Structure formats: C-alpha cells, structure tokens
Amino acid sequence: MHLNENDFLQLLEKHQNIIHKICRIYAYDYSNQKDLFQEISIQLWKSYPTFKGKSKFTTWMYRVGLNTAITLYRKNKKFIRGEDYSKLSELKADDGYDETKDNQINWLYEKINTFSEIEKALILLYLEDKKYSEIAETMGISEVNARVKISRLKRKLKTMLEQ
Amino acid sequence: MNKLDALKKEWKNQKFELQLTKDELHQLTQKKSVSSIKWIFIFSCFEFFAYLLFPFFIPDYFEAFEYYRSIHLYNFSILVNALGYIILSYFMVQFYLNYRKIKTSNSIAFLIETIISSRKSVNKYVAYNISLFLLFIIFVLINAFKYDENYIELLSIGSTINEDSIVKMVIAIIVIMIMVLSVLLVFYYIIYGRYFYRLKKLIEELEA
C-alpha cells in the first residue's frame, strides 16, 4: 500500500498542472482555487483504489478533477457575490484580443469564465487535445453528442477571437 | 495555422508558477474532505435516525397504544408501526447501496445520476413516512368519533358544541397539517433544493 502511495504521489506531482488548470477554470479567486485544489487532491487519493490502470492516469485525473469541481465542491458564494463580482465584470469589459502569450492565456480564461459548468469541462478537454471518444467517456455522453457540443464551442470561441 | 490552433498551442505551453512537491501533495491528500456528498450523506443518516428515535422523544408514545386499544385500533397501530420500520430498513439499505455507487472516477453524467438517485431514496422514504403518518391520524380520528365517548358527544344532537365549531376544528386540523408540511418542504428546499436543481440542470445540458 505504501509503495502505491508513493507511485500515486509521483504521478500526481508530475501531472499537477491538470488540477491547476481545473482550479483556474472553476474557482473564482485564489482562496477558492486553493480549496478546490485540496479537495481534488483528497478525492484523487480517495478514489485511487478504483484506478485499475485500464485508462491512462491522466484520463482518470481529468474525470475525478472535473467531477469534484462540478458536483462535489461547494463554492464560497459569499466571495463571488462580493468584491470578486466587480472584478469579473471588469474582466468581461476588456474584450480586446491581445497577441502576446500571457495575455492570450488570460484572455482565454476570462472567456471560459463566462461558459457554463459543462461547457468549461468540454473546452478544457478540447484544449487538452483529447479524442472525441475520450471526451464522450469522461462526460458520460455519446460520441456524436460530444462532437456536436465541441464544434458548437469551437464556433463560439472563434467568434470571440474575431471580435 | 489559424487563431484557434495558435491559442491551443499556447494553452498547452502554459506554465504554473506554483508547483507542489510530493510531500506537499501528500499533506493535502490527508486533509478532511468538505464535499457536498459527504454532507448529504450525514444529513440523510440523520434523517433516518431521527425517524428511528422519534418514538422515544414523544411523551406518552407507548401509553398511546392503550388508547388505540380502546378505540379498536390496537392491531392496526402495531401494523402501522411495524410497516414504518420495514419501510425504514428497506430505504436505508437502498440509500446505502446507491450511495456506494457514487464514485468520482465515473463519468460526469453517471456521477450526477447516482447522486440524484441516492438522494431520491431518502426523499421517497420521507414521503412514505409522512403519508403513513397522515393515514394513521385519519384512521384514529375516524375511530375516535366512533368509539371515544368524548368525541361521540361532540357529534351528538343537543350537544353544547354546535356544528360550526366542529367545522372549525376540522379546518384547524387541516391548517395545522398543511403548516407542518410546508415547514418540512421549506426545510428540504433550503438543505437540498438548490443543489439538486443545479444537478438536474447539468444533466439536462449534458443530454441536450
């Protein structure tokens, strides 16, 4: 069991950026991001015994991470209603698309912020270059449905890029 | 390369300043979970046990059986109570089995559905229990008017109490029942309503 834990932590350390991305997409501020990161880590460790190596470790990580962010994690609503809301609207007001790298990523996160919880999961999997079959499996929908949803999101993002 | 592909490339190259070490990650995994599922599980267990312990908190609960005997409802009251415990055990087992199916490694849609179905067994349990309770009250009232002297007097002609007050009494009982039910419903809405409404919306969006 101890050997297992070491393997797990090694893999977690290597792929922790997956969790960082999920946190930045789903949590509104630094303190919520920290809490969500912790909750995802706990859930990953708790469900590690169910990971049988049938799927890739990262595939399994996306699932547990997204499930935690979408259905298990209780957001600190007080903060969202308070000062952060004004911050969010400021971000939304800044619609210009900048060519410089960091700004591009920030711009993308701001746009993703306006998406629904489900759309956020879909766009993450799309940006991570997951196959449609994998996206469908993670979301629990048919592959056809996954294709339709992704192409809709791609169109949405393209329009945003051209604005 | 179009803009979208360029963006995707940037996405893949993004770096996070904060990189946790194995030890730090280990510490995180040992912390206590604050997930909503955990809270739903605790609340649901509490509901089951509240009903289980209910008789012990009601004064005269056991003495009441003597009264039921006097209005020819003794066997019926035993039956209803036994039925209550059978329903309780059935739903507790069902709830536990559904709860065990909740795994974060399942697909997003499947996880949401298992959460909803596990909670549904508790809701059904509460609904059955309340209906059984209401049914029992109605039977007790009917038999009380048949066999209890005090109640029969209320109905007898020439009684000091007129029909108006009986109507008022019936209305009062109905109003009290409706009030109790509304309080329960508001309580349920506050605890579970919004969360489950959100889950249902998520499923709708996934299936759309």
C-alpha B119/C-alpha B125 separation (Å) is: 10
Helix, strand, or coil (residue A155): helix
- What is the predicted pLDDT for the residue at A75? 66
Of A13, A44, A116, the CB nearest to B22: A13
Question: A94-163 in CATH: which number?
Answer: 1.10.10
C-alpha A89/C-alpha A21 separation (Å) is: 21
Quickly state the pLDDT bin for A154 (edges 50, 70, 90).
very high
Residue range B98-120: average pLDDT? 90
- What is the predicted pLDDT for the residue at B206? 93
Residues 51-110 of B with CB under 8 A from A: 103-110
**pLDDT surpasses 80 at B55:** no
**pLDDT surpasses 90 at B147:** no
- What is the predicted pLDDT for the residue at B1? 59
- What is the predicted pLDDT for the residue at A101? 60
- What is the predicted pLDDT for the residue at B158? 61
**Distances, alpha carbon A134 to alpha carbons A2, B30, B201, in Å:** 31, 30, 23
Residue with the bigger pLDDT between B80 and A91: it is: B80
> CA of B103, closest CA in chain A: separation in Å?
7
Place of tokens 């849609």: B109
Of B19, B32, B112, the CB nearest to A71: B112
For residue B26, the chain A residue with the least C-alpha distance is A9
Quickly state the pLDDT bin for A83 (edges 50, 70, 90).
very low
Asked whether the beta carbons of residue A140 and residue B107 sit closer than 8 angstroms, the reply is yes
Q: Which amino acid appears at position B185 of this protein?
A: L
Of A17, A45, A118, the CB nearest to B206: A118
**pLDDT surpasses 90 at B203:** yes
Of B4, B104, B107, the CB nearest to A139: B107
Buried b (16+ CB within 10 A) or exposed e, A109-128: ebbbeebebbbbbbbbbbbb
Asked whether the beta carbons of residue A38 and residue B26 sit closer than 8 angstroms, the reply is no
A62: CB partners within 8 A, 6+ apart: A18, A22, A124, A125, A128, A130, A138
- What is the predicted pLDDT for the residue at B122? 81
- Worst-scoring range by mean pLDDT, A54-68, B52-66, B157-171? B157-171
Of B26, B32, B108, the CB nearest to A67: B108
What is the pLDDT of chain B when averaged over all its residues?
84
Interface mutation target, options A72, A119, A159, A160, chain B, most CBs of B under 10 Å: A72
**pLDDT surpasses 50 at A82:** no
Q: Which CATH class is domain A1-79?
A: mainly alpha
**pLDDT surpasses 60 at A103:** yes
C-alpha A111/C-alpha B11 separation (Å) is: 13
Size of interface A-B (CB pairs under 8 A): 139
- What is the predicted pLDDT for the residue at B162? 66
Residue range B64-85: average pLDDT? 89
User: Most distant CA pair in chain B: distance in Å?
Assistant: 97
**pLDDT surpasses 50 at A68:** yes
> CA of B17, closest CA in chain A: separation in Å?
10
For residue A138, the chain B residue with the least C-alpha distance is B107
- What is the predicted pLDDT for the residue at A23? 94
> pLDDT tens for residues B151-193?
777 777 666 666 677 777 778 888 888 888 888 788 878 878 8
ipTM, 2 dp: 0.80
Where exactly does CATH 1.10.10 map onto chain A?
Answer: 94-163
> CA of A134, closest CA in chain B: separation in Å?
10
Quickly state the pLDDT bin for A87 (edges 50, 70, 90).
very low
Which pair of tokens denotes residue B178? Answer: 């409706």
**pLDDT surpasses 60 at A1:** no
- Residues in chain A closer than 8 A to B18 (CB atoms): 20
C-alpha B32/C-alpha B53 separation (Å) is: 29
pTM for this model (two decimals)? 0.79
A116: CB partners within 8 A, 6+ apart: B205
- What is the predicted pLDDT for the residue at B111? 93
- What is the predicted pLDDT for the residue at A96? 42
For residue A158, the chain B residue with the least C-alpha distance is B4
Quickly state the pLDDT bin for A93 (edges 50, 70, 90).
very low
Where exactly does CATH 1.10.1740.10 map onto chain A?
Answer: 1-79
For residue B199, the chain A residue with the least C-alpha distance is A71
- What is the predicted pLDDT for the residue at B46? 86
Interface mutation target, options A118, A119, A162, chain B, most CBs of B under 10 Å: A118
